[in-house]
A and B are shown apart, each in its own frame.
Chain A
Amino acid sequence: MSIRTVVVCEAQVPFVTGGSEYHVRALVDQLKKHGFSTELVRLPFKEYPVEEILPHAAAWRLIDLSESNGDPIDLVIGTKFPTYFVRHHNKVVWLIHQCRPAYELCGTKFSNFNHTDKDVGVRERIIDLDRQMLGECHKRFTNAANTATRLRHFNGLDAAPLYHPPPLADRLRPGEYGDYVLSVGRLEPIKRIDLALRAMQYVDPPTRLVVVGDGSERKALETLAVTLQVSDRVTFLGPVNDTQLIDLYAGALTVLYAPYDEDYGYITLEAFLSRKPVITATDSGGTLEFVRDGVNGIVCDPTAEAVGCAVNVFGSDRRRAAECGGTGLERARSVTWDGVIEKLTSS
């Protein structure tokens, strides 16, 4: 079957932009570059309270995307939960993540599901529907091996990891190994920016921490920095534009990225493409597919002291930071768009 028209499905949390939004936009751009007539279809998503999750999923199920204005839609690509609930005869999923609070986050502080009759019922329904809806897909790809492992573990479904470069890949550049550790990401609990702040208690001066990003935790994190008495060495920049971000990457000593069980994580690759070593944690998930301890970064326990010591390793030895950054650069350069669109669109 010849593919001409493609619809990419995106579940978007209004006023929030993160890795998955970049991923979807980059996919649309690449499809267009490859000559496909491509449209992005978006529906808003809200995952709280838990009883709201299934109505949002059902909304995707109710939409008819078989054709548009009399022309057939040849391929639909689902991305994150619940876009893959969409009905289509030729559905492919490039899975960014499922409804994580119902899966691997359940039982952690990052999940709103508890041992209640309602929550157990909703979880059972989500997991069962995921198995069916993802099972319908003619092909299943994931953004990283970590996501594929979860799918196999929780739903018994196979999928192939399909890596792609971060949005700024072509523009990132190396620079000096400055006096600051860079943290980039949404300021949400699961990103564990608080770990970076706590680690600063163990980081030797004059090394500073620069935090880029915004989110629901910002106020609490600023307060925490004061409480920990590290606020004089921590700068919260909020959201920055691409040019500023590229400059910040270029001038950093190292990049600290230690979220809890990340799916994929652009930050790792963006750091490497800026020739910076990455400090991550043993439970950070997808970042561990790229960061090798002592080779292109440091993988440490998710404790403030361990992270602080890791920063000091590079703070006291910039040559080592450069070596690790160089190795990381090679790794990141191997991740390209080559073949990605072909795999998604081939019959």
Chain B
Amino acid sequence: MTRIAWFSPLPSSSASLPCHRTALLTRLKDRYAIDRYIGTAPGRLHNVPPRTFSAHDFVWKQLQNPYALTIYDVADSPHYDFVWPYLVRYPGLVVLHDERLHRSRARTLFAQARGDAYHAEFHYNHPEANPDIPELKLAMLVGATSELWPMRRVVIESSRLLVAPNAWMAATLKAEASHDRIEVIEPGAPKVHVSPENRQRIRSQHGIAADTVVFSMVGPLTPECRADSVWSAMALLRHEVPQVHLLICGEAADVHRNMPHQLDITTPVTWLSNAEALDTSALVSASDVCICLEWPSGRHAMMSLVESLAAARPSIVTDLADRVDIPSLDPRDWRLRPLASVHGGADAFSSDAACVSIDILDEDRSLPLAMARLAGDPALRAKLGSGAQALWKRRFTFDRLVRDFEAAIRRALKISLSDVRQAELPAHLRADGTECVRSLLAPFGVWLPGLSDLAPAANPEVPSES
């Protein structure tokens, strides 16, 4: 069986992408011998399928019995920081979840006091940029550097095969890459079984009336997922439609947790812990509309939207370039938005809207409009829910995800490591551990290609006694 090493962090909640990765690896394990590598220390690794190890173990396992392929999940999040040194040293199939990687990479290098390495990587990634820009980042003066300069070239050029979560991102990457080994694998989720029992249980557990319209938000609550805008919209909505409730599951900074108090909307908001959200189907069952907004700074894979589609729930999304092939309504006129054919499939011509999308430049007006209409129009919710499920069946099922990954793995296995051009990478990324020895020996005129070249050949005789 083909041996695969898959670098991917463990899930922190069922709503997170790593959780879906666990399900995917479990499905693929019948076809491939997969070892999952995570960044944490040993000790909590047992009973997590498939076989899971600390990434530290990869080095000696790879030397003893090399894997046919390494796969790396990469995202702009601290959970994925551990992947970088392995990704560059052992090129493999890279699954890119975010369009930009600058923030997490800079944070990692700064934490290690490696300003020089950050400089070198920035200039490799963006040779056209003003060389003083890293100084701004180092001085923490300009947060927008992460958005303007994504720092993904190292990852692109170090990949045997690169997978993007949507066609828009793939096109963007291809425009920068020196190769064409880039494919699209859209996210996928298993069907979410919405049960009346779960709906009733969750609602009664949190004091939500049966006829209340519940909006839900899943995932870490950050400025990028438009928490502020949702709070403000809820404050407006409460005056127009009293019977609404916001169900939030995810970690949040204090500033977001306190905002409902400031806006006097404490009552219709319920916070769920990650532990409570482990049962995604129960959470979705309890809600009527899923809010999946996003500022275009991250371009994250849209897992919460896919789960909403899989549950046949209407969603409110941001009208971003990477989502223009999702059939959606504009709340300003309730017409179907023109579909772009970046996906190139049937959806480009579908008229079944699956969600409501918000023009980010008109968010203050459009979001309350969308929420008010959806709260008061159960027929529209049902129609959008039906469209959502149809879209999920066409493009976002878990079975399709598995098939796509199997195909990508097959292709990656055929790509030779010699096709990966890393010669121009910054020196610290190409380090092999002997730099110090080489520099010490250089004055002697010795420039060793490898220390072992001095070794005489020998056939060890292993003693049998014990």
A binds B: yes
Interface residues of A (CB under 8 A from B): 51-52, 54-55, 57-58, 61-62, 87, 89, 91, 103, 106-108, 113-129, 131-133, 135-141, 145, 154-161, 343
Q: Is the CB of A115 within 8 A of B435?
A: no
Q: Is the CB of B463 within 8 A of A58?
A: no
Q: Is the CB of B433 within 8 A of A121?
A: yes
Q: Is the interface of A mostly helix, strand, loop or mixed?
A: helix
Q: Is the CB of B428 within 8 A of A160?
A: no
Report if B49 contacts A (CB, 8 A): no
Report which of A51, A125, A140 forms a contact with B460, defined as CB distance below 8 A: A140
Report which of B434, B455, B461, B465 forms a contact with A125, defined as CB distance below 8 A: B434
Q: Is the CB of B434 within 8 A of A139?
A: no
Cβ contacts under 8 Å, B55 to chain A: 115
Q: What are 8 inter-chain pairs, A to B, with CB distance below 8 A?
A: A115-B84, A123-B59, A124-B433, A125-B451, A138-B460, A140-B463, A158-B462, A161-B466
What CA separation (Å) do A140 and B466 show in the bound complex?
A: 11
Q: Is the CB of A117 within 8 A of B455?
A: no
Q: Mark B21-58, 1 if CB is under 8 A from A, else 0.
A: 00000000000000000010110000000000011100
Q: Is the CB of B433 within 8 A of A54?
A: yes
Cβ contacts under 8 Å, A51 to chain B: 433, 435-436
| A148, closest chain B residue (CB) | B466
Given A54-B437, A139-B461 in contact, is the A119-B85 Cβ separation under 8 Å? Answer: yes
Q: Is the CB of B458 within 8 A of A135?
A: yes
Q: Is the CB of B60 within 8 A of A118?
A: no
Q: Is the CB of A61 within 8 A of B461?
A: no
What CA separation (Å) do A67 and B235 show in the bound complex?
A: 88
What CA separation (Å) do A89 and B459 show in the bound complex?
A: 11
Q: Is the CB of A54 within 8 A of B463?
A: no
Find residues 441-466 in chain B having any chain A CB closer than 8 Å to their own CB.
441, 451-452, 454-456, 458, 460-466
Q: Is the CB of B452 within 8 A of A129?
A: yes
Q: Is the CB of A154 within 8 A of B451?
A: no
What CA separation (Å) do A132 and B453 show in the bound complex?
A: 10
Given A52-B436, A121-B431, A140-B462 in contact, is the A61-B89 Cβ separation under 8 Å? Answer: no
Q: How far is the CB of B226 from chain A (nearest CB, A)?
A: 33
Find residues 87-128 in chain B having any chain A CB closer than 8 Å to their own CB.
88-89, 112
Q: How far is the CB of A65 from chain B (nearest CB, A)?
A: 12
Q: Is the CB of B64 within 8 A of A156?
A: yes
| A139, closest chain B residue (CB) | B463
Cβ contacts under 8 Å, A128 to chain B: 63, 452
What CA separation (Å) do A157 and B63 show in the bound complex?
A: 13
Report if B86 contacts A (CB, 8 A): yes
What CA separation (Å) do A126 and B59 show in the bound complex?
A: 10
Report if B429 contacts A (CB, 8 A): yes
Cβ contacts under 8 Å, A136 to chain B: 455-456, 458, 460
What CA separation (Å) do A157 and B428 show in the bound complex?
A: 31
Cβ contacts under 8 Å, B431 to chain A: 117-118, 121
What CA separation (Å) do A138 and B88 show in the bound complex?
A: 37
What CA separation (Å) do A119 and B440 show in the bound complex?
A: 19
What CA separation (Å) do A108 and B81 show in the bound complex?
A: 18
- Give the interface size class of chain B: 35 or more
Report which of A115, A127, A140, A159 forms a contact with B82, defined as CB distance below 8 A: A115
Q: Is the CB of B464 within 8 A of A160?
A: yes
Cβ contacts under 8 Å, A52 to chain B: 436
Q: Is the CB of A155 within 8 A of B428?
A: no
Report if B432 contacts A (CB, 8 A): yes
Report which of B39, B54, B462 forms a contact with A159, defined as CB distance below 8 A: B462
Cβ contacts under 8 Å, A133 to chain B: 452, 455
Given contacts A58-B441, A107-B56, A120-B85, 13 further A-B pairs with CB under 8 A are A52-B436, A55-B437, A87-B454, A87-B456, A107-B41, A116-B85, A117-B429, A124-B89, A127-B60, A129-B452, A133-B452, A155-B60, A343-B463
| B61, closest chain A residue (CB) | A154
Q: Is the CB of B463 within 8 A of A115?
A: no
What CA separation (Å) do A141 and B60 show in the bound complex?
A: 21
Given A54-B451, A106-B56 in contact, is the A120-B86 Cβ separation under 8 Å? Answer: yes
| A126, closest chain B residue (CB) | B433
Given A107-B41, A129-B451, A160-B466 in contact, is the A124-B59 Cβ separation under 8 Å? Answer: yes
Q: Is the CB of B460 within 8 A of A115?
A: no
Cβ contacts under 8 Å, B441 to chain A: 58
What CA separation (Å) do A131 and B56 show in the bound complex?
A: 17
Q: Is the CB of A115 within 8 A of B437?
A: no
Find residues 412-437 in chain B having any chain A CB closer than 8 Å to their own CB.
428-429, 431-437
Q: How far is the CB of B326 from chain A (nearest CB, A)?
A: 36
What CA separation (Å) do A91 and B458 show in the bound complex?
A: 10
What CA separation (Å) do A231 and B462 show in the bound complex?
A: 51
Q: Mark B57-86, 1 if CB is under 8 A from A, else 0.
A: 001100110000000000000000110111
Given A115-B85, A125-B432, A129-B451 in contact, is the A58-B59 Cβ separation under 8 Å? Answer: no
Q: Is the CB of B434 within 8 A of A116?
A: no
What CA separation (Å) do A207 and B342 show in the bound complex?
A: 77
Given A54-B437, A115-B55 in contact, is the A343-B84 Cβ separation under 8 Å? Answer: no
Report which of A91, A118, A140 forms a contact with B433, defined as CB distance below 8 A: A118
What CA separation (Å) do A332 and B45 show in the bound complex?
A: 37
Q: Is the CB of A120 within 8 A of B451?
A: no
Cβ contacts under 8 Å, A121 to chain B: 85, 89, 431-433
What CA separation (Å) do A57 and B451 show in the bound complex?
A: 9
Q: How far is the CB of A265 from chain B (nearest CB, A)?
A: 19
Q: Mark B395-420, 1 if CB is under 8 A from A, else 0.
A: 00000000000000000000000000
